Structures are given as C-alpha cells and as structure tokens.
Amino acid sequence: MNMKKRIISLVCIAALSLGLFAGCGKKQEATTEAPADGKKEIVIGFSMDTLKEERWQKDRDILMARAQEKGVKILIQAANGDDNKQIAQAENMISQGVDVLMVAPHNAEVAATIVESAHAEGIPVLSYDRLIKNADVDLYVSFDNEKVGNLQGEYVTKMNPKGNYVYIGGAPTDNNAHLFKKGAMDVLKPFIDNGDINLVYEQMSKDWQPSEAQKHMENALTANKNKVDVVICANDGTAGGAISALAEQQLSGKVPVTGQDAELAACQRIVEGQQVMTVYKPIPKLAETALDLAIKMAKKEEVKTNSTVANGKIDVLSYLLEPVVVDKDNMMDTIIKDGYHPFEEVYKNIPEDERPAK
Ligand code: GAL
C-alpha cells in the first residue's frame, strides 16, 4: 500500500470507529479488491472462538476453499478462547467493512455485543455452529444439536439400559453444550425415573478442555469405587480425557464412552475399541451451506431456512443439518466413504488382515 492509500484507509478506519460515516471501510475493500468485471467484491468476515479442535481447522480450510471457488473474499480470525480478543477481532472486521459477519462465539452471551456493533454498521450476523444468545441474530447455521445428544443417549441406552451413568459435558459458555446435554438427558430421563439408570456424576468442562474431562472422570471413578457402566462425553476431545482416566484404572475399552465430531483420534479409538461411538457432523456441508447463505445475505437475496431456534430474545431463523451416528460397524460407509479421514489413517493400528475390505 502506498503512503497516500495508507493515509486514506487510516482516516477511513478512524472515521468509521467514530461513527462519522458508514460504508467507508467497504470503499476501502472495493478500491483495493475490485474484481475485473467492475462489481464490488463480496467480503465475508468469520470470527472464530478457537482452532483447538480438529473440526474447527476443517471449518476454516473448507470456508477458505469455498470462498475462493465462489469468488468472494473471506477474512478469518480465531480468538483462542478469549472473549475480549474475539470482540476486538470482530470489531476490526466490522471496521474493514465486511458485507456479512459470521461468528462462532466463545461465549454465547458476551457475543451479543458483536451483533450490536455489526448492526450499528448495517452488517448482518450469521451465528455459525454455535448460537449467540439474547441478540438479534440474522441467521443461525448449525446441526440439530439436541439431536446430537439424543443420538449419544440412544446409542448407550440400547447397549446398556441399566447401570451407573456419568455425563461429562462441554463448556458452560457454549450454548451447544447445553443443547447436547438436554438431548442426552431427554433420552435418559425415563430410565432414570424408573430406577434402571443411576446418573452418578455429571459435570461440564470449562472451554471443552480434555484435561478437565479427565479430572471429572477421575473424580467420578473415585466417588463410585470404579463402578461406572457408561460415560457420555459431549465431544471427542472430552472423550479422550475421560478415556485417559479410565486407562489409569485399566478400564479403557471396558466402559462404553461416547463422543462427537468424528475426530481422527476418535475414529481410531472406535475401530480399536476404546470408544463406542462418535457423532459425525459433516463439516463441509456446514461450511458450504453457511458460506452460500452468507453470500445470499450479502446480495440481499432470499435466504432459505428450515427451522427457528429461540435465543432468549428472538426466534432466530435457522438452517439445521443432520448429525450421523458413527461406530465400528458403519465407519466404512460414513467417514471413509465421504473421505472425511483416509482409510489408512483410521485403521493404522489395526493389523492389515483384520481391517475391513476397502
Ligand atoms: C461445540 C461444537 C462441537 C465441538 C465443541 C468444542 O460448539 O459444536 O463440534 O467442537 O464446540 O469446540
């Protein structure tokens, strides 16, 4: 950028942050990024909580590839679980004049500020995978997250309709963690009510940390003298933590553990027998749907939705996708068939003569 342009853009950013005139940042994008056909390039911002779990790296990579395919520009920033950083990053994208802001919030409540700042500049907000609470969110694109919990609960109650159950949930600041728990508990309730299932321990895990989940599992085992029959973990990261704690007591592979995300490590544990299932959420479908809808929002075209989800303030127009159960038996027909992980990676610790036919 030459000095003149740098000064103009600095003046623009300053003017925008003082609220002097809207659209300034957009002009900045248009002048530097105008495509050859002369139309203004669409710019989508994506503010992410984290890139810690493997799935979020997929989200980022697929969004970037899809944006290139569609000829739009995407700005992506991740906040490492820090609310103030996420707000600052989102505000920076707003000041750069993005046409639509997608947000995967670290904290469902705190992120309402981001929606307000975006709306003040006329920028619509798409809540990505995780719902922003108590705000006028324009669109929510995710999976049916209560169903994720239903699938986990149904799987283990079929396997083990009686016994001592442990529930290890996700981050209390993430609305999804509450939906996953509700979905699982709805399935367990009749079993708990008739006394077949004893919910002997339940805890959420700060920031979805596997180390927290491991501590919860250690506590659950100690408190119940190792008499635990089923562990429902909200995702694969927490499942990994719980399985480490079970392994310390030589119980790994003996107590069924659930998960979610179809992470490579979880798929390996499933075929090796340390985890019974995961819930597979095809991330390419989520990322592509979200980006396509964001582009429609940018062009002010009609956006098709298939649901609404209450966020404490409004019923948010939503597009929800279907999650899928994955276990040892359908690994080939789901994860491998979709190319979500390569066969050689998933089965790498299984002797060749014991692997399923490709
Ligand atoms: C949830 C998300 C899960 C999992 C978790 C931890 O909101 O739906 O797929 O990744 O966060 O990041």
Which residues form ligand 1's pocket by a CB distance below 6 Å? Answer: 53, 55, 129-130, 170, 174, 176, 208, 235, 261
Distance CA(78)–CA(4), nearest Å, equals 31
User: Is 90 exceeded by the pLDDT of residue 26?
Assistant: no
Q: What is the mean pLDDT of residues 158-166?
A: 98
Q: Residue 80 in 3-state DSSP?
A: coil
Render pLDDT for 88-135 as a digit per residue (tens, 0 to 9).
999 999 999 999 999 999 999 999 999 999 999 999 999 999 999 999
Render pLDDT for 253-280 as a digit per residue (tens, 0 to 9).
999 999 999 999 999 999 999 999 999 9
User: Is 80 exceeded by the pLDDT of residue 182?
Assistant: yes
Distance 25 CA to ligand 1 centre (A): 32
Helix (H) or strand (E) holding 86: helix 83-95
- Cβ contact 44:295 at 8 Å: yes
Q: What is the mean pLDDT of residues 48-54?
A: 97
Ligand 1, residues 48, 49, 50, 55: which to mutate, most atoms within 8 A of Cβ? 55
Distance 52 CA to ligand 1 centre (A): 10
- When pLDDT is cut at 50, 70 and 90, the band that residue 15 belongs to is very low
Q: Does 145-281+325-354 match 43-143+283-321 at the fold level?
A: yes
Q: Which residues pair with 230 in a beta bridge?
A: 165
Q: What is the mean pLDDT of residues 17-34?
A: 35
Give the C-alpha distances (Å, rounded to integers) separating 118 from 145, 175, 222: 26, 21, 48
**Strands (DSSP E) found in the chain:** 43-48, 73-78, 100-104, 125-128, 139-143, 163-168, 197-203, 230-233, 277-280, 307-310, 315-321, 324-327
- Mean pLDDT, the chain, rounded, equals 92
Render pLDDT for 285-318 as a digit per residue (tens, 0 to 9).
999 999 999 999 999 999 999 999 999 999 999 9
Alpha carbon nearest to ligand 1 atom 9, residue: 261
What is the structure's pLDDT at 11? 36
User: Is 70 exceeded by the pLDDT of residue 195?
Assistant: yes
**Is CATH 3.10.620.30 the right assignment for the domain spanning 145-281+325-354?**
no
pTM: 0.90
Distance of CA 271 to the CA centre of its chain: 24
What is the structure's pLDDT at 318? 98
Distance 120 CA to ligand 1 centre (A): 29
- Show me where the domains of the chain are located: 43-143+283-321, 145-281+325-354
Instruction: State the DSSP string of 10-52.
Output: HHHHHHHHTTS-TTHHHHHHHHHH--TTSSPPPEEEEEES-S-
Distance 14 CA to ligand 1 centre (A): 36
Region 43-143+283-321: CATH code: 3.40.50.2300
- When pLDDT is cut at 50, 70 and 90, the band that residue 235 belongs to is very high
Q: What is the dihedral of CA 265, 268, 273, 277, to 10 degrees?
A: 70
- Cβ contact 255:230 at 8 Å: yes
Distance 21 CA to ligand 1 centre (A): 38
